[in-house]
Structure 1
Amino acid sequence: MAIGVLALLGFQLVDSAFIARLGTAPLAAQSYTFPLTFLIIGIQVGLGIAIAALISRALGAGEARRARRLGSLVLGLGGLVIGLLAITLWLAQQAIFSRLGAGPESLALIRDYWGPQLLAAWFGAVLYFGYSLCRAHGDTRLPGKLMVITSLINLLLDPLLIFGVGPWAGLGLPGAAWATVVAFGSGGLILWPRLRRADWLGRSGLLLEARRSALPFAGIAGPAMVSQLMPPLAAMLAISVVSQLGETAVAAWGLASRLETLSLMLVLALTMSLPPWLGRCYGAGDWAQIRRLMRLAAKAVVAWQLLLGLVMAAAAPWVAQGLSGNPEIRDDLALLIRFLLPSYALLGLCMIVVSAGNALGWPLRAMLMSAARLFICYLPCLWLGMLAGGLTGLAMGAALGNLLAGLLAWQLYRITRQG
C-alpha cells in the first residue's frame, strides 16, 4: 500500500509540477480547487472506512455472505453519492471559488478545468471504493499495483495533454484533469473483473441487508465522513488566509499541499491497511493484538516522518526548484518545506489514531480528535502566525499546530484505551 500511495500521490504532485511550467496563474487556479477536491476525497474516504470496517468485522465473525452483500451495496451507493456531490460542486463553482478569493483570471482558468477534474474525481472515488473492498478482504497487493499502473498512465499522458506534441498545442490546465480521467478509467477496467472473479460481490438479499446494515453503516460512515470533511473545510479556511499574502503564496501553498500528501505516504498506507486488521481483531475480541499493532504503527510513523522531514528540510531549496521552476514560487515553497515537513511526524501520529478509532468502535471520538486537530490546534496557530510574521509566521504556526495535534491525539487514545 505504501508503494501504491507513493505512486498515486506522486502523480498528483507531478500534475502540479507540470502545471507550474505553465506559469503562476494556472498553478494558483489549480490550488484554489484543492479544498473542493479534498472535500470529495474526504467523503469517499469516510465511506471507504465504513466499507472496510463493516466488511472486515463480518469476515472476522465468519459472515462471508453478509460481507458480499455489503460489498455490492456500498459500491453502488458510494458512486451515487459522489456523483451527486460532483454535480452540486459544478453548479456552485462561481460562488465557491469567489468566496475562496479567486480573481477573474483564476475563475476563467478554473471554469475550463473544473468539469474534467470533477469527472476524474468521480472515477477516482469509485475506484477507491473497489480498493476498500479489496483491503477489507485482506488484499492490499492489487490496489497497490493498480495505483502504480494508473500513476504511470497519468505520468505519460500529462505532458502530451498539457503541452501537446508536434503541431498540436495541447489543452493546458484542463489537460492534467483529462489525463487523470483516462488513468482512473483504465484502473476501473482492470479492477472490476477481478472483483467479480473473486466472488466478493453479492446479488441476493441486498434490500434486507440494506435495512439491517443502514444504522451500523451510518454510525461509522457519518462520523468518519464528518472527520474527513473537516480537513477540506480547514483547507478552505487556510487558503483564504494564505490568499491574503498574494497569488505567489497561494501557488507555493498549493505545491506544499501536494508535497504534504506525498510525504505522508506511509501514514496514508497505514490508515488504509491498518483499520481492516484492527477490525478483524476487534471482531475477534483480541485487544492485546490491537495494542501491539498501535504501538508498532506509532513508532514507525514518528521515526519515518521525522527522518524524512529533516532530510527534506535540509534539501528544501533544491526540492522547491525542482517542483516549481519559478524563482518567486521557489523561495516561498522552500520556506514552507523547512517548517512543515518535520512537523508531519506528529501529524501522522494523529492520523493513525483517528483511523484506528473508526475501526475500534470509537467513531465519535475519532471525529472529535479530527475537530480538535484542525480547529483547536492547526487553524488558530496558522492564522496567528500569519498575522505575526507573514508567510514565515504562517509556516511556523502550521508546524506548531501539527505538533500539538499529535500530542493531543495520542493522549486521547491512551485515555480511551484505558477506559
Structure 2
Amino acid sequence: MKKRNKKEMILNGNMYNTLILLSIPIMINNLIQTLYNLADGIWVSKLGSVQFAATSFVWPVNFLFISIGFGLSIAGTSILSQLIGGDKYEDANRYAEQIVVISMLISIIFAAIGYLLSPYLIKIMGAKGDLAKYSNIYLRITFLDMPFMFLFFNFNSIMTAQGNTLIPTILSGISALLNAILDPIFIFTLDMGIAGAAIATLLSRVVLAIAGMIVLYKFETIIRPSFKEFKFEREKIFKIIDVALPSSIGQSGSALGFMVLNGFIASYGTSTMAAYGMVNRITSLVMQPASGIGAALTSIVGQNIGANQMDRVKEAFRKALVFTVTLGIIGCMFMLWKDKGIINFFMRSKDDLEVINQGIEYLRYSALFTPLMGVFSVLQGLFQGAGHTKYSMSMEIGRLWFVRLPMILIFKHFTNIGPTGIWISMSVSNLIVCIYGYLIYRKDTWQQRVVDMETTV
C-alpha cells in the first residue's frame, strides 16, 4: 500500500508537498555526508595543512574513476522511474539486474587499476614532496572502497526510482556515524595519520553496501533483482549505455577538469590548495538542500514522463527552482555575514594563516553565486530524470573546460591578481552554465521518453 501511495503522490499529489517529502531525506543524507566530509577534514587538518591539502588534491582522481558508477546510477534512476511510471515492473527488475552486474564488474577493474596507477597520476598532476607522499597514501586506500561504493549507488538508484529516499538516508547516516567514530581512532589512537582517515572511510562503506543489500532483499520493494537466471541482454545493455554514457562522460570530463584545476591551484602553493578544499566543503554544506531538491526531481520527472504527464514535469521544474533559489539566497546572506567565523571554525590548524585569509576571500566569492548552484542542481535533475543525459553532460564539461579553465589561464598569465583569479573564475562559470542550461530547457528537446513503453518486455 505504501509503495502505491508513493507513486500516487509523485504522479498526482501536490507538487510542493511531493518535492518536500522526497527531497528532505536526500537533503538529510547529503547533509550527513557533507558533515562527515567536514569532520574528516577537521580531523585531518589537525595533522597539518599539507595533509589536509592532500585530501582535496586527490579527490578529482578518485572521482574520475567513480564517474562510471555515477553514470550507471543516474541511468538506473531514469530508466527505472520511467518504467515504474508506465507500470512496467517486470522490465524494471530485469534492467536493475543488468545495471548491478555491469557496475560491479567495472568497479572491481577500476579499483585495481586505480590502486596501481595512483603514484603516477599524482606525479602527472604536479604534486611534489610531502603533498605527493600524503596524496598517494590517501588515494590508494580510497580506491579499495570502489566496489562497495558502486554497490550502494545501485541500491540508491533502485530506491530513488520508486520514490523511496528515506531508507538510503538512514543507512548513510549510520555509515557516516560509524565513520565519525572510526576517524579519530585510526588517525590518532592507532597513530595511522592520513591513512587512518582513508581506512575509516573504507570500513564504513563496506558496512553501508552490505546494509543496502540486506534491505533490498529483506524488505518489500517494487524492484528486487533476483539474478537466478541472469544473462546479459544486449538490447537492455545498449539502452543503459545510451543513457549512462553521456552522464559518465560528463562526470569524468568534470573530474579531469578538476584534476587540471587542482594542478593550477597547487601552482599557487599549499595555502591556496587548502583554502580551496575547505571552502568547497563549506559551500557543499550550504548547498545540500538545493542538491536534495535537484536529486528528488529526478524520480519525479522520470515517473511523470513514463506516465505521459509532461505538464506536471514542467510544474515540478518551476517549483523546484523557486525552492532552490530561495534557499541559495538565504545561504549567501549567512556566509557573507559570518565569513570569518566560519573559516576559523572549520580550519582548526593555525600553522598557516594565509590559508585563513585566502579561505575568507574565496568564501565571499562563492557566497555571491550560491543561488546559481541551486539552479544548476535543478537543471541537472530535470535532464537526468528525463534520461537525456547528454544535456547534463554538456553542462558539466562546458562549465569546466570551456569557461572556468580558460578564465583561470587568462587571469594567471595576463593579470597579477593571484589566487583571486581562481575564485572569480569558479563563480562566473556557474552563471554562464546556468544560462546555457535554461536555453536547453526552452528548446523542449529533452521531453522524449528514453524507454519505449509499447515495446519493452
Amino acid at match of 1:401: S
Q: Tell me what 1:14 maps to.
A: 39
Q: Tell me what 1:201 maps to.
A: 225
1:18-71 CA deviation, whole Å, 9 max, x = no partner?
111100221122222111122234222211000111111221221211212222
Q: Distance in 1 between matches of 2:116 and 2:446?
A: 48
Match of 1:53 among 78, 103, 106: 78
Q: Distance in 2 between matches of 1:105 and 1:74?
A: 40
Q: Distance in 1 between matches of 2:333 and 2:145?
A: 34
The question of 1:416 aligning with 2:425 is answered: no
Quote the offset at 1:143 in angstroms.
0.7
Q: Tell me what 2:237 maps to.
A: 214
Q: 1:290 to 1:402 in 2, by over 3 A?
A: same
Q: 1:348 to 1:82 in 2, by over 3 A?
A: farther
1:113-147 CA deviation, whole Å, 9 max, x = no partner?
22321123432232122111111122111011112
Match of 1:300 among 292, 313, 323: 323
Q: Tell me what 1:237 maps to.
A: 260
Contact (CA 8 Å) 1:69, 1:204: kept in 2 or not? no
Amino acid at match of 2:425: G
Q: Distance in 1 between matches of 2:61 and 2:108?
A: 14
Q: Tell me what 1:28 maps to.
A: 53
Is 274-283 or 61-70 further displaced after alignment?
A: 61-70
Match of 1:109 among 134, 153, 172: 134
Q: Which runs of structure 2 are paired with 1:272-287 in the superposition (5 Å)?
A: 272-287=295-310
- SS of the equivalent of 1:390 reads coil
Q: Tell me what 2:433 maps to.
A: 405
Q: 1:226 to 1:15 in 2, by over 3 A?
A: same
Q: 1:349 to 1:398 in 2, by over 3 A?
A: same
The question of 1:186 aligning with 2:180 is answered: no
Contact (CA 8 Å) 2:294, 2:320: kept in 1 or not? no
Q: 1:67 to 1:8 in 2, by over 3 A?
A: same
Amino acid at match of 2:230: L
User: How many residues end up aligned between the 2 structures?
Assistant: 414
Amino acid at match of 1:405: V
Q: 1:229 to 1:300 in 2, by over 3 A?
A: same
Q: Tell me what 2:112 maps to.
A: 87
Amino acid at match of 2:94: R
Q: Distance in 2 between matches of 1:8 and 1:58?
A: 30
Q: Distance in 2 between matches of 1:37 and 1:313?
A: 32
- SS of the equivalent of 2:442 reads helix
- SS of the equivalent of 2:225 reads coil
Q: Distance in 2 between matches of 1:376 and 1:263?
A: 26
**Structure 1 residue ranges, 4+ long, deviating more than 4 angstroms after superposition:** none
The question of 1:73 aligning with 2:88 is answered: no
Q: 1:344 to 1:230 in 2, by over 3 A?
A: farther
Q: Distance in 2 between matches of 1:243 and 1:212?
A: 45
Amino acid at match of 1:348: G
Q: Distance in 1 between matches of 2:229 and 2:294?
A: 31
Is 294-303 or 322-331 further displaced after alignment?
A: 322-331
Q: 1:112 to 1:372 in 2, by over 3 A?
A: closer
Quote the offset at 1:418 in angstroms.
9.5
Match of 2:385 among 352, 359, 363: 359
Instruction: Provide TM-score, normalisation by structure 1.
Output: 0.93
Match of 1:337 among 363, 367, 370: 363
Is 49-58 or 115-124 further displaced after alignment?
A: 115-124
Q: Tell me what 2:455 maps to.
A: none
Which structure 1 segments of 5+ residues have no match? none
Q: Distance in 1 between matches of 2:394 and 2:187?
A: 41
Q: Distance in 2 between matches of 1:264 and 1:293?
A: 19
Instruction: Provide TM-score, normalisation by structure 2.
Output: 0.86
Q: Distance in 1 between matches of 2:209 and 2:388?
A: 32
Match of 1:391 among 412, 415, 419: 419
Quote the offset at 1:112 in angstroms.
2.5
**Greater helix share, structure number:** 1
Q: Tell me what 1:38 maps to.
A: 63
Quote the offset at 1:417 in angstroms.
5.8
Q: Tell me what 1:267 maps to.
A: 290
Amino acid at match of 1:323: F
Q: Distance in 2 between matches of 1:298 and 1:284?
A: 23
Q: CA RMSD in A?
A: 2.0
Quote the offset at 1:319 in angstroms.
1.1
Q: 1:230 to 1:302 in 2, by over 3 A?
A: farther
Is 270-279 or 20-29 further displaced after alignment?
A: 270-279
Is 258-267 or 8-17 further displaced after alignment?
A: 258-267
Amino acid at match of 2:375: L
Amino acid at match of 2:216: L
- SS of the equivalent of 2:87 reads coil
Amino acid at match of 2:378: I
Q: Which runs of structure 2 are paired with 1:218-229 in the superposition (5 Å)?
A: 218-229=241-252
Q: 1:306 to 1:333 in 2, by over 3 A?
A: same
Quote the offset at 1:353 in angstroms.
1.3
Quote the offset at 1:188 in angstroms.
2.2
Contact (CA 8 Å) 1:248, 1:328: kept in 2 or not? yes
Q: 1:331 to 1:120 in 2, by over 3 A?
A: farther
Q: Tell me what 2:156 maps to.
A: 131
Match of 2:187 among 153, 162, 173: 162
1:354-382 CA deviation, whole Å, 9 max, x = no partner?
33213224222332232322222322233
Q: Distance in 1 between matches of 2:394 and 2:55?
A: 30
Contact (CA 8 Å) 1:308, 1:342: kept in 2 or not? no
Contact (CA 8 Å) 1:385, 1:395: kept in 2 or not? no
